[in-house]
Amino acid sequence: MAMYLRRAFSYRSVSLVRTRSSSIVQSRNFSNIICNASSILCDSQSHNAATVPGMDFLRESRRGFAKGKKSRDDSGSGSDNVAVDIGPAVKENASALMDAAIVALSRDLAKIRTGRASPGMLDHIIVETGDAKIPLNRLALVSVLDSKTLSINPYDPNTLKALQKAIVSSPFGLNPKEDGERLIAAIPPLTQEHIKAMCKVISKSSEDVKQSIRRARQKALDTIKKAGSNFPKDSAKRLEKEIDDLTKKFVKSAEDMCKAKEKEITQG
């Protein structure tokens, strides 16, 4: 009996020791798990703390880029509304076109024969030399001997006959004579029929040049109109007035030139 009790107490002691050991092991394992979890949590927090500044930097960069783009767009849209002073260019272009019309008129009037000798009256005559057709003023020097006589001096004496033939065939009614290596052309007096015909030609030339001047004016006004809101209204009105004044100036110049030519024809 005593032996039996002793064995029972020994088995109980061993089981208690095992139970305590397992409890200690489990408690230690649980503590390790808690520590590991804590360390993971700490690591994740430290990681998040390290990555947050980077995210903030990206956000700020995006905001800065958006602001910069907006400011560029605003500045670009503002530049479209900047007023441009087109006045000098418009006036210069209109003046050049009107002046070209006056030059053309002067050239046409010089071709019209009057009762007086003029060196330019033969410029438009075309001379046939071989296979080429050349203006007379490129083949000869025309000068005035007196108010009723012209001298035609060819650069090449071999073209003398061709020059004479071309002058006789012209509508001026001239009959030049050979004088050595040059031609002498006497200007005959104008008939009343010829004077009336020449005055009609001058009148038509005057209307043609006026139309050219008015077209130049209209082109300038169209340019001002197309500028729209980019050109201030006050400046546009002032420029339109300057263009009108310029038009009147050139029209008057053309009229004066034609009147002077008519006077030269009628009065001889």
pLDDT for 60 equals 53
Burial class (CB in 10 A: 0-12, 13-18, 19+), 88: exposed
Secondary structure percentages of the chain, helix, strand, coil, to 5 = 75, 10, 15
Nearest in space to 255 (alpha carbons), one of 213, 210, 212, 217? 210
pLDDT tens series, the chain, 268 aa:
445 444 544 444 434 334 444 444 444 444 444 444 444 434 444 444 444 444 454 455 455 544 444 445 444 444 455 556 777 899 999 999 999 999 999 988 887 877 788 888 888 889 998 888 999 989 999 999 998 899 999 999 999 999 999 999 887 788 999 999 999 999 888 888 888 888 888 999 999 999 999 999 999 999 988 887 777 888 889 999 999 999 999 999 999 999 999 988 887 6
Nearest in space to 212 (alpha carbons), one of 256, 247, 240, 259? 247
CA–CA distance from 180 to each of 106, 134, 158, 177, 183 (Å)?
Answer: 33, 23, 12, 10, 8
Fold of 126-186: Gyrase A; domain 2 (3.30.1360)
Asked if 87-112+191-267 and 126-186 have one fold, the answer is no
Provide the sign of the torsion angle of the four alpha carbons 53, 58, 64, 70, taken in this order: negative
Contact 151, 181 (CB under 8 A): no
pLDDT for 157 equals 92
In CATH, the number for domain 87-112+191-267 is 1.10.132.20
In the chain, what are the domain boundaries? Answer: 87-112+191-267, 126-186
Beta bridge partners of 151: 143, 184
Amino acid sitting at position 237: K
